[in-house]
Amino acid sequence: MTSIKSFPTKGGALHFPQFLDSSEKKEILAYLRTLYPIWEMRYSTLRPLQEGQEQRQLLRPVYWLGNWQFACLDYYHPPKGLHHRCVTAEPFPPILARLIQKMESLVHKSFHEKDIPRGWHLNTCLINYYGDRVENGKREDLARVGEHKDFEPGPVTSLSLGERALFQFVASQSKSQKSEIFLQQWLADGDLQIFGTDKFKKQLFHRVQRVDRKEQSKFTGLNEGENFETRRINFTFRYVPNEHISDLSELPEEKKQDIKEYVVRLSEKSKFWEQQAQDL
């Protein structure tokens, strides 16, 4: 790994440009070519939607490591949304396991003990594929994420590959007002971002406002499917307490049925999920 320079910004958000060296990027890209990300629906397709819900496909294909938070099970959200939200998933490959050790060391050096929960370690990772859906010669830009919070406790680390992204922390306003930008950072190829503290985790929202096209970055040999072209890939590493991670066999039957379609699809390309599918 190349020499790291920290660029602290407003206390709870850190930016480490060029965190990855060329050999690490190459190893990560080789690993990504072994994955088959899936497109999920936001809610279960087996039950009527609750008031205020609108069924939709997620904006991008995703893959999870460590544990999988299937969208239709709803995402991990303490203090009430703890159980049967996080399902045991594939372990980290060696390259990510090595990088996690470095990221955890940076967190312990950069944050006060009060901002790092007891037992904290980066045991879950969401891989987001940002890019364009291409259908009938038309290109739809899906490289964005609306404002939201990551509710997993403690600092979050975010690793970027590909085109640079405009990442913003915002104070959410009413529907009639625009959200106020508190801080924004451009995250480029190989950059690491870390954010934590109550300010950045609990008070502010964050979003990806857009992803550039300036470098004309396209990832070749990936398995995105759905007529999709990836311009940026982001790994978001988080912490879920072990007692809140369920094996697939432990899920109530109703929730197994909610995710059965996804597990079967994953099992077609993954030995891990092929074994898990036996518990459906």
Amino acid at 276: Q
Question: pLDDT of 48-71, one tens digit each?
Answer: 999 999 999 999 999 999 999 999
**What is the pLDDT, as a whole number, of residue 174?**
65
**What is the pLDDT, as a whole number, of residue 2?**
39
Percentage of the chain modeled with pLDDT above 70 = 95
- The rounded distance, in Å, linking the Cα atoms of 266 and 275 is 11
Summary mean pLDDT of the chain: 93
**What is the pLDDT, as a whole number, of residue 4?**
42
**What is the pLDDT, as a whole number, of residue 176?**
63
| Alpha helices (H) along 44-93 | none
Q: Above 90 in pLDDT, residue 150?
A: yes
Buried b (16+ CB within 10 A) or exposed e, 190-219: bbbbbbbbebbbeebbbbbbbbbeeeebeb
Q: Above 70 in pLDDT, residue 231?
A: yes
Q: Above 80 in pLDDT, residue 257?
A: yes
**What is the pLDDT, as a whole number, of residue 136?**
85
**Range of lowest pLDDT (113-122, 212-221, 248-257):** 212-221
**What is the pLDDT, as a whole number, of residue 66?**
98
Which carries the bigger pLDDT value, residue 139 or residue 217?
139
Q: State the pLDDT confidence band at 215, using cuts at 50, 70 and 90.
A: confident
For residue 203, the SS3 value is: helix
Q: Above 70 in pLDDT, residue 10?
A: no
**Domains of the chain: residue spans and CATH:** 7-243 (2.60.120.590)
State pTM to two decimals: 0.94
User: What phi and psi, each to the nearest 5 degrees, are found at residue 172?
Assistant: -70, 135
User: What phi and psi, each to the nearest 5 degrees, are found at residue 78?
Assistant: -60, 155
What is the pairing mode between strands 245-246 and 86-88?
parallel
**What is the pLDDT, as a whole number, of residue 6?**
43
**What is the pLDDT, as a whole number, of residue 3?**
40
**What is the pLDDT, as a whole number, of residue 143?**
94
- Rounded average pLDDT over 83-104: 98
- Rounded average pLDDT over 111-135: 95
